[in-house]
Amino acid sequence: MARYEKIVAAIKREVSSIIHDELQDPRLGFVTIMRVELTPDLRYAKIFFSVLGDDKQYKKTGEALDSALGYIRKLIGERVKLRFVPEISFKEDKSSQYSIKIQEVLDEIKKRDGHK
């Protein structure tokens, strides 16, 4: 795995852990970090999240994540060894089709690898 992919995976893992284990904001719903988009210079990261619930729950969760941006960025800096900690922003990912497509691809890989 290339360095870039390792950094993306580490940011995704750490943000998920921080949200689930350390944030105590009652506005947070059941949040899943779907993906992280990182600029090639590693300066900016868009973190896409999904929430179990309706538009109101997305809005409340987005507000909670935005209010915790500084704290989350600080912890990323402590846990992911980078020269510069990327500026982060959270974006809603309401695309259930995206999740379904990912599952289909994973199922296809399992099926293909199982027949070797």
Q: What is the pLDDT of residue 58?
A: 87
Q: Where are the domains of the chain?
A: 3-114
For the stretch 66-80, what's the b/e string if a residue is b when 16 or more beta carbons lie within 10 angstroms of its beta carbon? eebeeebbebbeeeb
- 8 A C-beta contact, residue 68 and residue 25: yes
Tens digits of residue pLDDT in 14-36: 999 999 999 999 999 889 999 99
Question: What pTM value is reported for the model?
Answer: 0.78
- Give, for 38, the enclosing helix (H) or strand (E): strand 31-38
Length of the chain, please? 116
Tens digits of residue pLDDT in 64-73: 999 999 999 9
Q: Tell me which DSSP letter residue 52 carries.
A: S
- CATH topology for 3-114? GMP Synthetase; Chain A, domain 3 (3.30.300)
Spatial strand order of the sheet with 87-92 comes to 31-38, 44-51, 87-92
Tens digits of residue pLDDT in 52-95: 878 888 899 999 999 999 999 999 999 998 889 999 999 998 77
Q: Among candidates 19, 53, 43, which has minimal Cα distance to 33?
A: 19
